[in-house]
Amino acid sequence: KVPIKQGVWKRLLEMDGEPISGQKLAEELGVSRTAIWKAVQTLQSEGFEIDSVKKSGYAIHAKPAFLTLEEMQQYRTSEQIGKYIHLYPSLTSTQVIAHEKAQHGALHGTVIVSEEQTAGRGRLQRKWDSGAGKGLWMTIILRPDIHVSRAPQLTLIAAVAVVKGIEDVTGVQAQIKWPNDVLINGKKCTGILTELQADVDRVQAVLLGIGINVLHDKEDFPEELKDIATSLKMESGEAVNRAKLAATIWNYLEKYSDLYLEQGFEPIRLLWESYSTSIGQQIIARTAREVIEGRAKGITKDGVLLVEDSTGKIHEIYSADIEL
Ligand code: BT5
């Protein structure tokens, strides 16, 4: 059953600024006029500009610039991912809140989204720049029943879902740089951070952090990122709808993680390789222990990167920074 607020919101948007009476809304949604009035008040308090015109009814004038639950739910077709959304104006990091929620039993598919992160993080204590209102900063809690050793594959599944989502919503073709970067024209527009809560060797929760630069202009990035980062707006020339992007990624993520649980990693591996920038390229991989130079040959059925050095030796790389 559609919540009243969401139903009202959807009808007002469909009316495109023309008024619709409270009576009509009440009849259509099968609720009282008071319930409609309350829903309108809540929407107004959330930033929607809704006029109530005597006799003729309610009319919507503008959508808020910020993310709303209604709009994200509108585009969602996935069953579980995004069913429960926690939306915040500002947080230290969506990962931190996701850890807390997961520990307290948050269900599979719960999403934490924030307009801003004051301490957004990357891998290895690195920082993730997360300016207010510019990006899509979210963590998705997944509870697949898998061995911990398979968890890194979820990063690769997420990367495929992000590339597909970006393609659907903006028409822009992004590429994946192993393991966790999504690039457009060689610049980073998305980072993915996968963290785990595990019980001996079974996964309890996967906290899939996805940060996408959406509405940034070049000057919105700090100096050190200006030449290496990009946004969907910079690449597509359009102000991309973040709510639609979020929901589209959830839809794909559900589709591909279901596929993965049913058929294993192979179908994902093929998709992933088709979007990869690194495969076939000469790369430098910096792991915690060594630096390996060679040609990226592909990823294994476990998602491990294979690099062939100049002597013909094949290295299996589990975790590294890659330079193209
Ligand atoms: C990543 O780390 O790329 C993973 C980033 C994950 C961010 C999401 S946002 C939602 C969730 N909540 C969090 O707190 N985190 C996740 P890594 O591969 O370590 O790359 C980090 C490096 O990317 C930094 O050292 C910078 O060089 C660069 N960087 C930082 N912010 C960036 C941005 N907004 N766009 C592009 N590059 C950035």
With 90 as the cut, is the pLDDT of residue 138 above it? Answer: yes
Shortest-distance Cα residue to atom 7 of ligand 1: 211
Whether 240 and 128 map to the same domain: the answer is yes
pLDDT tens track for 222-246? 999 999 999 999 999 999 999 999 9
Residue 117 is assigned to a ligand binding site? yes
- What is the number of domains present in the chain? 3
With 80 as the cut, is the pLDDT of residue 272 above it? Answer: yes
Whether 130 and 40 map to the same domain: the answer is no
Q: How far is the CA of 70 from the centre of ligand 1 (A)?
A: 27
Written as six digits, the tokens of 185 are: 């024209």
Residue 319, pLDDT score: 84
Whether 73 and 57 map to the same domain: the answer is no
Residue 295 is assigned to a ligand binding site? no
CA distance 280 to 297: 6
β-bridge partners, 211 = 137, 191
Whether 195 and 91 map to the same domain: the answer is yes
| Phi/psi of residue 317, nearest 5 degrees | -110, 120
Whether the CB-CB separation of 94 and 137 falls below 8 Å is answered with yes
Whether 194 and 291 map to the same domain: the answer is no
Residue 123 is assigned to a ligand binding site? yes
Q: How far is the CA of 159 from the centre of ligand 1 (A)?
A: 14
Whether 129 and 214 map to the same domain: the answer is yes
Whether 160 and 190 map to the same domain: the answer is yes
- Which ipTM value was assigned to this complex? 0.99
* Residue 126 burial class via C-beta count within 10 angstroms: exposed 0-12, middle 13-18, buried 19 and up: exposed
Helix H, strand E, coil C: the string for the chain is CCCHHHHHHHHHHHHCCCCECHHHHHHHHCCCHHHHHHHHHHHHHCCCEEEEECCCEEEEEECCCCCCHHHHHHHCCCCCCCCCEEEECCECCHHHHHHHHHHCCCCCCCEEEECCECCCECCCCCECCCCCCCEEEEEEEECCCCEHHHCHHHHHHHHHHHHHHHHHHHCCCCEEECCCEEEECCEEEEEEEEEEEEECCEEEEEEEEEEEECCCCHHHCCHHHCCCECCHHHHHCCCCCHHHHHHHHHHHHHHHHHHHHHHCCHHHHHHHHHHECCCCCEEEEECCCCEEEEEEEEECCCCCEEEECCCCCEEEECCCEEEC
CATH number for position 271: 3.30.930.10
Whether 257 and 287 map to the same domain: the answer is no
Whether 106 and 226 map to the same domain: the answer is yes
Whether 128 and 55 map to the same domain: the answer is no
| Residue where a domain terminates, one of 42, 62, 82 | 62
Shortest-distance Cα residue to atom 30 of ligand 1: 128
| Residue where a domain terminates, one of 259, 275, 291 | 275
| Residue where a domain terminates, one of 62, 78, 98 | 62
With 80 as the cut, is the pLDDT of residue 169 above it? Answer: yes
Whether 238 and 297 map to the same domain: the answer is no
| Residues having CB within 6 Å of any atom of ligand 1 | 93-95, 117, 120-124, 126-130, 137-139, 180-181, 188, 191-193, 209-211, 213, 225, 229
Q: How far is the CA of 275 from the centre of ligand 1 (A)?
A: 20
Rank 7-16, 62-71, 217-226 by mean pLDDT and report only the highest. Answer: 217-226
Q: How far is the CA of 121 from the centre of ligand 1 (A)?
A: 6
* Residue 30 lies in domain: 4-62
CATH number for position 41: 1.10.10.10
Residue 122 is assigned to a ligand binding site? yes
* Best residue among 128, 245, 249 to mutate for probing ligand 1, ranked by most atoms within 8 Å of CB: 128
Whether the CB-CB separation of 288 and 304 falls below 8 Å is answered with no
Written as six digits, the tokens of 174 are: 């992004």
Q: How far is the CA of 25 from the centre of ligand 1 (A)?
A: 44
With 90 as the cut, is the pLDDT of residue 173 above it? Answer: yes
With 90 as the cut, is the pLDDT of residue 20 above it? Answer: yes
With 90 as the cut, is the pLDDT of residue 301 above it? Answer: no
CATH number for position 305: 2.30.30.100
CA distance 236 to 232: 6
Whether the CB-CB separation of 206 and 151 falls below 8 Å is answered with yes
Atom of ligand 1 nearest to the CA of 129: 31
Report the range of poorest mean pLDDT among 52-66, 149-163, 279-293: 52-66
**Mean pLDDT (whole number) for 86-107:** 96
Whether 225 and 102 map to the same domain: the answer is yes
Atom of ligand 1 nearest to the CA of 229: 36
pLDDT tens track for 277-299? 888 889 999 988 899 999 999 99
With 70 as the cut, is the pLDDT of residue 1 above it? Answer: no
Written as six digits, the tokens of 232 are: 């969907």
Whether the CB-CB separation of 115 and 133 falls below 8 Å is answered with yes
